[in-house]
Chain A
Amino acid sequence: MRKFQILVLCLLAFAGCKNHENDHQPKKIAVIVSTLNNPWFVFLAQTAAAKAQSLGYETRIFDSQNNTALETDHFENAIASGYKAILFNPTDANGSVVNVNKAKAAGVPVFCMDREVNSATGPTSQILSDSYSGSVDVGKYFVKTMNKKGNYAELLGMVSDNNTWNRSKGFHSVVDYYPGLKMLAQQSAEFDQNKAMEVTESILQAHPDIDAVFCGNDAMALGAYQALAAAGKSAKVKVFGFDGAADVVQSIRDGKISATGMQFPKVMAQTAATYADEYLKGRRDFPRKIPVSVELVTQKNVSGYIAFGKKN
């Protein structure tokens, strides 16, 4: 009997040690991002990871390389490796839903940043740029700058991404009120600078008389500007972007690009990480979607902004 009591005490002591050790292991949060081939998403991912680390979590950034199959691998890896929450920038509004649902079924909450998935129940919360309203502001400035008339082209982002269409719809909800503004071409350049340069070159061949290009992100605005500069038309054709990337903020200062919609990835990333921390501490009442405002940056107010945000 005495031997049995000693054995039980040893087991309890061992179990206690084990639990104690687990308490000191930092919980892990995964940051799964659509691509790290664009400085905007690098900033988003790094800020989310840094905020989670400051809250006491171990983090790892996974790059989906705009590939939903790779994104699926990352989700499976994160779930199997014991990550407690996922801060997620989706690759595809529809294609990424299955990954979110897989994490939810495994009890891992997902917080979407910047890009949304078309699911009301999958993600715990979606913290998104108000792309539609931001593009309304860009559209209003576009109409004023163009004096309500002229020919223009539009470069769309990835057609599978909701932000692409929210930006396009917001822009057209203003510009289409003005019959003097005619859209001669609308093509996707997939948010990519090099593709935007190629697409703009071909648009210029078909429509040499365009007066402006509206681009669904800043990388495409830079590509469009490069093509216009190469064709000797950069002084005549106005370029409008969306994001607030460093090169575009500088280009607005230099008078090369007319305006951009400044997004705030820091706000989105930090809110997502804070929500994940609150979830893991027991909170459950999260708003399904939280829009983050987008601000118009022009030559008039650019001195108040830096890349991806405001000057303090």
Chain B
Amino acid sequence: MNAKVKYGIWTVIAVIIAYNSVYFKKLDAMKAVAGDRFDAAAYARNYLLKVLPGMADKAIGCDRLLAGLQTDPQQTFKYSHALDIGSTRFFLVKGNGKITNIDENDIYLATDSSKAAIKIATEYIFGNAVRDASGVISINDFAGTADLNNISAEANKYIRQQILPTFKASAKKGDEVSFLGAVELNSSHLTISDAEIIPVSLKITR
């Protein structure tokens, strides 16, 4: 075989190997892949600041919730939501009240209409109450339970770091407060006195 033909064949083979060994991708495409990873902090921030405030009209009034739990708990629990199977349920609640006491774990309110005593948690902001109470987050929308756990953790962190410090610094006995929050109750072992509302928004109105 002619030497030139031989070299030509080898050159073509070398070019084919080199071409298939190296891939070039646009930087935008790589960023898009990286961006597919679930950002729980961003999701939680959007959920707290945009989704939940837009659902305030669907939240059950605190006085109505307390009255309903005493007169017809079964019917009242139809307002609750939870991602898990079981009797741990969560309500999205709203209301107004006057601060009657403040301690290291809670702020105590007497509601405006019925003067019922309720607790707003300021220390133990943990668990799934905020994530589950609205009923808009579906387990089938997420690849794994870790993403769902991270939404709760990030939402609670935001409340602890961004929502509570300003409120705690200015709240005092006698202040009128309006709130939107989430509360956990067990439909089988109902103990209303232990219930703490995890705040989503808190405003001192007077």
Contact = CB atoms under 8 A, between A and B. Distances in A.
Contacts of B143: 120
Interface stretch (B5-13, B36-44, B59-67, B82-90): B82-90
B149 interface: yes
Task: Report the contact-size class of chain B (Cβ under 8 Å from the partner).
Answer: 20 to 34
Given A132-B145, A304-B189, A310-B188, A291 B126 contact: no
A301 B126 contact: no
A264 B82 CA distance: 16
B153 A173 contact: yes
B145 A140 contact: no
B85 A290 contact: yes
Given A173-B153, A289-B144, A289-B145, A295 B86 contact: yes
A139 B126 contact: yes
B192 to A, nearest CB: 14
Contact of B84 (A133, A143, A288, A301): A133
Contacts of A173: 126, 153
A140 B124 contact: yes
Interface of A: 120, 128, 130, 132-133, 136-137, 139-140, 143-144, 166, 169-170, 173-174, 264, 267, 271, 287-293, 295, 301, 304, 310
23 contacts: A130-B84, A130-B145, A132-B149, A137-B127, A140-B126, A140-B127, A143-B124, A170-B149, A271-B85, A287-B139, A287-B140, A290-B85, A290-B139, A291-B83, A291-B139, A293-B85, A295-B86, A295-B88, A295-B186, A301-B189, A301-B191, A310-B87, A310-B189
Q: Which 3 A-B pairs have the closest CB atoms?
A: A293-B86, A293-B84, A293-B88
Interface of B: 82-88, 124, 126-128, 139-140, 143-145, 149, 152-153, 186, 188-189, 191
